[in-house]
Amino acid sequence: MDFALSEEQQLLRHSVERLFADHYAFEARKRYAQEKDGFSRALWARYAELGLLGLPFAEEHGGSGGGPVETMIVMEAIGRALALEPYFATVVLAGGLIRLGGSEALRAAIVPKIASGELILAFAHAERQSRYDLADVAATARRVGSGYMLDGAKSLVLHGDSAEKFVVSARLGGGQRDRDGIGLFLVDAADKGVSTRGYATVDGLRAAEVTFAGVRVPAEAALGTPGAAFPLIERVVDAAIAALAAEAVGAMAAMHALTVDYMKTRKQFGVTIGSFQALQHRAADMLIALEQARSMAMLATMMAAEDDVRERRAAISAAKVQIGRSGRIVGHGAIQIHGGIGMTMEASVGHYFKRVTMIDTMFGDADHHLGLLAESGGLIAA
Amino acid sequence: MDLGFTPEENAFRDEVRAFMNEKLPPAIRNKMIEGRRLTKEDIVTWQRVLNAKGWAVPHWPRQWGGTDWGPVKTYLFRDELQQAPAPEPLPFGTNMLGPVLIAFGTEAQKKRFLPRIANLDDWWCQGFSEPGAGSDLASLKTSAKRANGHYIVNGQKTWTTLAQYADWIFCLVRTDAAAKKQEGISFLLIDMKTPGITVRPIQTIDGGHEVNEVFFDDVKVPAENLVGAENKGWDCAKFLLGNERTGIARVGASKARIRRLKELAALEQSGGKPLIADERFRAKITAVEVEIKALEMTELRVVAERTRSNKPDPASSILKIKGSEIQQIITELLVEVVGPYALPDQVPHDESDRWNEPPVGPDWAGPLAPQYFNYRKTSIYGGSNEIQKNIIAKAILGL
C-alpha cells in the first residue's frame, strides 16, 4: 500500500507542471482559445516533444509504456492549468481504443503519429438519444464487400472539429440498446460521407456533431471484434473516467488554492475576509471535499486497468459519484467566497467551476453512477 | 502507487480475523451487532482477552506491553477489530493516559499504572471538561492547591464518560490562578475512592447513562500523582488530544454497521417487498458506502504518510469530521429501516438489563432509535466538528 509516486513519475509531474507553468497563464489560455482549432497547435507539439502524447503506448510504436498513474499525472496537471489541447480525446479516449483494440498493423500505422503530434483523434460514440447508456448505439455498420458502410449521427464528439480521424461506434446487429452487436471503426474525417459541425462548449473546449452517411471503411479499420466491441468501450471509458477524475481533482485543487489566496488578500470591514469563521468553515468543507475526491481519483486510477469488471466498475462509479459531489461543494464555495468577482469571465475561478461541472456530465453524472453502483450491490457486501 | 498490502500484511490481517472469530465471545459480538449496551464486565472481559494475546495496547512501546507493528499493521488490526465487530479497548487508559505517561510520566508512575491499564485492572476516566470549559478547555477552573506534599482539589468535572465504573480519574486542574489561561494548568491522577469525590449520573437523550458529573470537595491527592511538571499540564493535554484523533475515522465500525443496515433492510417489508429493493432507499445506502470508501482511502493516505513521518497530521481533523458524519448518517438510516417501530421505548433507563420484554415489533428494533439519538455526540466529542474546522483553517489553510 503506497500512494507515493516513483522517481520517474515525479520527474514526469515536474516536466508537465513546468510546461503549464511556463505556457498556461490565464491570459495565454484566452489566446489559445481564439486559435483556429480552439487550442494551441504549438503547445501540442511541445506535448509531443515531452513524450506526453506517447505516454500510454508501447515503446516499439514511439510510446513509453506508461499506465494509469502516468495518465493521472498528466490529467491532473491539465485540470490545474485548464488546458485546452485534445489530450483526453486523442490519447485517452480514441488512443485507448486503438491501443487496446487495434490490430498490430493498425497500431503500427497510427500510434507513432499520435505520439509525434501529427494526428488528432476523437471518439464518435454518443448519440442524441443515448444519454449515459454506453450500449445505446443507433448508428449502423453494414457489411459491404470485404468492408463496411457506416450510417448515423454522432453527438457531442469531443474535439470532433479538429480530429483528423474518428473512432466510430456503429451497430452490426442486435437491438438499439443491446450490449452485443456493436463495432468500432477508424474513419478518416476527410472520407466521403463524413460531415462535421464544430462548436464551442461552455467550459471553453470544442466538440462537434458528426454525421456519417454511407461512409465506406475497409475491414482493416475495425477495432476489436466487430459486433463484440462493447467490453472494449466499457474498459476504455472506465479508464477515461479515472482520467477525468484526475483532471477534476486538478481543477478543484486550483479553485481551492485560488479561493484560500483570495481570503488572505481581500479585505472587508478593515480585515482580510479569511479571518471570518463562516468563510473559514466553508473553506474547510471545500478542502474535505477536495481530499475525498483526491482519494477516490487515486482509487479509480489504481483500479482503471483491473480485469475483474465488477470490481473495476464499482470503483469507477464510486469515484465518479465522489467527483460529481465534491465538484459542486468546491465549485459553489469558490464562487461564493470570491463574491462578485467570481461571477465574472475575467476571473479564472469561474472557468474552473464550469469545467468541473461539465466533467460531471461526461460518461454519467453522480446520480447515474450512484444508480449503477446501487444496482450492482454497492461496495460493502451485506 | 499501489493499493495492495504485502503478503505479510495480508497474512497478519488473516491472523487478526481468525483471532476475532475464535476469541470474541458471541454474546459480546451480538450486542455490538444489535447496538445494545455493553456492561462493565463485557468491556473488562474482552480487553483481558486482547491483553492475554498482547494486543490490548499495540501502539505502545514493546517495553510496556505494546508491539512494533507500525502504522499499517496497527491500521489493519483496528479495521478487523471494528469489523468483527468487537469493542475497542477502553480508550481513556489505552489511548489517552497511557501515551501521556509514556511521554511525560516518571518511571514509578509508568511501572505502577501502565500494566494495570493494559489489563484493565484500573478503570480510568477523563476529567477534562467542566460546565464552563467545553470546546474552550483551557478556561477550566477546578483548582489544586499544594500543601504538605499533597494537592487539595476543589471543583467540578462534567461529561465524564463511564465515571460510574472508574477506579481512577486523570484531571486537568488549575495550579496557578494568576498565570495566563494555558500556563497555570497541571495534569493530576486521582483515586476515585478518595474522600470528597461525588459522582452524579447525567442521563442523555437516548435514556442511557454514559456520562457523569464529578464533584471534588477538598480532595487530598498525593503530590507524586502529578504527571509532568507543575503548570505544564497543557503540554500533556495537547499531546493527549492529538492522540485522541487517531482511529477516529472508525471506517471498520461503519462498514460493520452498513452490513447490519443491509441485513435489516432485507428483513423489513415496505409496500410488499423488502425495503432493500426500494430504489430510493438503496441509493441512500450506496451514497454512504461511497463516503466510507473515500474516507477509507483518505485514512490509508494518512497511514501511508505516517510510515514516512511521525508528526501529528492535521488531516486527522478531516478523518474526525467525515468519520463522525458517516457514523451519524448510518444511525439515521437504521431508524428509517425501523420505521414506525422506532416508537416504543424499550431500552433500560438505568444500569440494569431491564428491557421491555417481550419486544414490541421486531426484536431488533429497540436499540436503534436510542443509538441514533446517542450518536449525535460523535460530532461534539473529541473536539467538536466546528473546532476541527477551525484547526483545518489554521493548520492546513493558514487562515
ipTM of the complex: 0.95
CB contact B70 to A (< 8 Å): no
**Gap between the Cα atoms of B213 and A185, Å rounded:** 75
Neighbours of A314 (CB within 10 A): 23
Q: What share of chain A in percent tops pLDDT 70?
A: 100
pLDDT of res. B351: 72
**Gap between the Cα atoms of B376 and B325, Å rounded:** 9
> Does B364 score more than 70 pLDDT?
yes
Neighbours of A53 (CB within 10 A): 29
Task: Quote the number of domains for chain A.
Answer: 3
Query: Does the active-site annotation cover B325?
Result: no
Which one from B244, B268, B336, B386 is the annotated catalytic residue?
B244
Burial of B215-229, coded b for 16+ CB within 10 Å and e otherwise, reads bbeebebeeebbbbe
A26 with A61, same domain: the answer is yes
pLDDT-derived band at A372, boundaries 50, 70, 90: very high
Q: DSSP string covering A241-281, please?
A: HHHHHHHHHHHHHHHHHHHHHHHHH-EETTEEGGG-HHHHH
Residue of B nearest to A317 (CA): B290
CB contact A322 to B (< 8 Å): yes
β strands within B100-204, DSSP E: 124-127, 143-147, 150-157, 168-174, 185-191, 197-202
Whether A282 is covered by a domain: the verdict is yes
* Nearest-CB residue to A1 (from B72, B282, B292): B72
Q: Per mean pLDDT, which range of A222-231, B92-101, B355-364 is the poorest?
A: B355-364
Residues A66, A92: contact at Cβ < 8 Å? no
> What letter would DSSP give residue A24?
-
Least Cα distance to A206 among A39, A63, A87, A324 occurs for: A39
pLDDT-derived band at B350, boundaries 50, 70, 90: confident
SS3 A124: strand
CB contact A249 to B (< 8 Å): no
A59 with A105, same domain: the answer is yes
Least Cα distance to B291 among A253, A325, A361 occurs for: A325
**Gap between the Cα atoms of B293 and B255, Å rounded:** 9
Q: DSSP string covering A182-247, please?
A: EEEEEEETTSTTEEEEEEE-TTS-EEEEEEEEEEEE-GGGEEEEEEB-HHHHHHHHHHHHHHHHHH
pLDDT of res. B260: 97
> Does A68 score more than 90 pLDDT?
yes
Whether A28 is covered by a domain: the verdict is yes
Q: What share of chain A in percent tops pLDDT 90?
A: 99
- The last residue of a domain, from among A227, A261, A276: A227
The grid cell for A219 is 475491414
| Residue A143 backbone phi and psi in degrees, to 5 | -75, 125
Q: Which residues of B touch A284 (CB under 8 A)?
A: 388-389, 392-393, 397
Residues A357, A294: contact at Cβ < 8 Å? no
B292 contacts A380? CB cut-off 8 A: yes
**Gap between the Cα atoms of B285 and B308, Å rounded:** 35
Chain-centre distance of CA A321, in angstroms?
16
- Rounded to a whole number of angstroms, the distance between the first and last alpha carbons of chain B is 32
A36 with A98, same domain: the answer is yes
A113 with A23, same domain: the answer is yes
B292 contacts A280? CB cut-off 8 A: no
Whether A382 is covered by a domain: the verdict is no
Residue of A nearest to B295 (CA): A292
A303 contacts B318? CB cut-off 8 A: no
**Gap between the Cα atoms of B172 and B186, Å rounded:** 6
> What value does the mean pLDDT of chain A take?
97
Whether A2 is covered by a domain: the verdict is no
pLDDT in tens, B102-124: 999 999 999 999 999 999 999 99
> Does B246 score more than 80 pLDDT?
no
Which residues 284-303 of B have a C-beta within 8 angstroms of A? 285-287, 289-295, 297-298, 300-301, 303
A95 with A183, same domain: the answer is no
**Integer angstrom CA distances of residue A287 from A67, A253, A294:** 28, 8, 10
Whether A50 is covered by a domain: the verdict is yes
pLDDT-derived band at B316, boundaries 50, 70, 90: confident
pLDDT in tens, A189-238: 999 999 999 999 999 999 999 999 999 999 999 999 999 999 999 999 99
A107 with A22, same domain: the answer is yes
Place of cell 492549468: A81
Whether A167 is covered by a domain: the verdict is yes
- Rounded to a whole number of angstroms, the distance between the first and last alpha carbons of chain A is 26
pLDDT in tens, A110-137: 999 999 999 999 999 999 999 999 999 9
CB contact B249 to A (< 8 Å): no
- The last residue of a domain, from among A119, A142, A161: A119
pLDDT of res. B313: 76
CATH of the domain at A26: 1.10.540.10
pLDDT in tens, B36-69: 989 999 999 999 999 999 999 999 999 999 999 9
> Does A106 score more than 80 pLDDT?
yes
A371 with A241, same domain: the answer is yes
CATH of the domain at A148: 2.40.110.10
A69 contacts B295? CB cut-off 8 A: no
Q: Which domain holds residue A266?
A: 231-375
Whether A1 is covered by a domain: the verdict is no
Chain-centre distance of CA A309, in angstroms?
20
Residues B198, B214: contact at Cβ < 8 Å? yes
A242 with A267, same domain: the answer is yes
B293 contacts A379? CB cut-off 8 A: yes
> What value does the mean pLDDT of chain B take?
94
A191 with A113, same domain: the answer is no
pLDDT of res. B245: 59
Chain-centre distance of CA B44, in angstroms?
15
> Can you say whether residue A370 is alpha, beta or left, with left for phi > 0 and alpha for psi between -120 and 50 degrees?
alpha
Which residues 91-130 of A have a C-beta within 8 angstroms of B? none
CB contact A5 to B (< 8 Å): yes
The grid cell for A13 is 509531474
Neighbours of B56 (CB within 10 A): 24
Helices (H), chain A: 7-23, 26-34, 41-49, 68-81, 87, 95-101, 104-115, 230-265, 277-303, 309-338, 348-361, 366-375
> Does B248 score more than 70 pLDDT?
yes
Q: Per mean pLDDT, which range of A343-352, B66-75, B124-133, B217-226 is the poorest?
A: B66-75
A196 with A103, same domain: the answer is no
Q: Which residues of B touch A379 (CB under 8 A)?
A: 286, 289-290, 292-293
Measured at the alpha carbon of residue A52, what is the angle toward residues A49 and A56, in degrees to the nearest 5?
135
- The last residue of a domain, from among A196, A227, A258: A227
**Integer angstrom CA distances of residue A269 from A3, A341, B396:** 43, 18, 25
CB contact A7 to B (< 8 Å): no
pLDDT in tens, B11-37: 999 999 999 999 999 999 999 999 998
Q: Per mean pLDDT, which range of A272-286, B53-67, B101-115, B244-258 is the poorest?
A: B244-258
CATH of the domain at A292: 1.20.140.10
The grid cell for B253 is 465500525
Q: Which residues contact A173 (CB under 8 A, 6 or more apart)?
A: A180, A181, A227
Q: Which residues of A touch B292 (CB under 8 A)?
A: 379-380
* Nearest-CB residue to A302 (from B3, B262, B392): B3
pLDDT-derived band at B244, boundaries 50, 70, 90: low
A257 with A356, same domain: the answer is yes
A235 with A358, same domain: the answer is yes
Distance from CA of B322 to the nearest CA of A (A): 8
pLDDT of res. A336: 98
**Gap between the Cα atoms of B137 and A231, Å rounded:** 59
Mutate to test the interface with B, among A1, A5, A322 (most CBs of B within 10 A): A1
Q: Which residues of A touch B279 (CB under 8 A)?
A: 371, 374
Whether A209 is covered by a domain: the verdict is yes
Residue of B nearest to A258 (CA): B397
